[in-house]
Amino acid sequence: MVIVKTAREISKMMDACRISANALRLAGEYVKPGITTWEIDEKVRKYIEKQGATPSFLGYGGFPASACISVNNVVIHGIPSKEQVLKEGDIVSVDVGAFYEGYHGDNAFTYACGKVSDNALALMEATRISLDKGIEAALAGNRVGDIGNAVQTYVEARSYSVVRDFVGHGVGAKLHEDPSIPNFGKAGRGVRLLPGMTIAIEPMVCEGSYEVDVLEDDWTTVTCDGKLAAHYENTVAITPDGPKIMTVPG
């Protein structure tokens, strides 16, 4: 069931989104060669808790950390580890959510660790821009398929692929709400976007094939061909005046 929120509910949700965005920005400041993904996760957890919020992911479905930190060919749901030390040239996708006063915020960004290859930079830029294209299509009266089609068209025109097995989602009082927001599809199809809907748009883009595999830990999702992947995400409100990005630091 799609949940349409009141202006007051969206205003309250903005606080959770701001905390999520600040936590994500903080994580990015620590993406440097020599740091472990566990150390970054600790920074995220402590920041969120200091704001009086709760990390959305910690314990969610049994997930053992506060942030998903996915390196290179890990698409999403990378589990932070004391053994995983970031090195020069890695690309690091960090996905962070915060739960505050009854609402979640959810966002992700792929960071360069030191100097990365031109191929990695191009993938990251294309994925980031595809998120912008998806948000631009998140207009009241449009349909979910318009978002996915905008992302897919941009990505595939650059010879990349969009993951099919995982998609964006509604977000609010629950971390995952209806509707699903695929990063692919046909324009004009799917659930109609209404003012008051709040959704997480999150392109997951692969350098090669879109086929992915979930490892034995039941979380870590990698590209089957071992090539790079990037992931960007914002929580967005559908309004009569156009899409409003909610996960803005401040």
3-class SS letters over the chain: CECCCCHHHHHHHHHHHHHHHHHHHHHHHCCCCCCEHHHHHHHHHHHHHHCCCEECCCCHHHCCCCEEEEECCEEECCCCCCCCECCCCCEEEEEEEEEECCEEEEEEEEEECCCCCHHHHHHHHHHHHHHHHHHHCCCCCCEHHHHHHHHHHHHHCCCCEECCCCCEEECCCCCCEEEEECCCCCCCCCCECCCCCEEEECCEEECCCCCEEECCCCCCEEECCCCCEEECEEEEEEECCEEEECCCCC
Strands 74-76 and 91-100: unpaired
Q: Are 235 and 198 in contact (CB under 8 A)?
A: yes
Give every residue of the chain whose pLDDT is below 70, as ranges. none
- CA distance readout (Å), 246 to 10, 20, 60, 223, 235: 9, 10, 22, 30, 5
Residue 2 CB burial class (10 angstroms; 0-12, 13-18, ≥19): middle
pTM of the model: 0.97
Measure the CA dihedral 241/243/248/250, to 10°.
0
Cα 22 from Cα 241, distance rounded (Å): 25
Output the pLDDT for position 145: 98
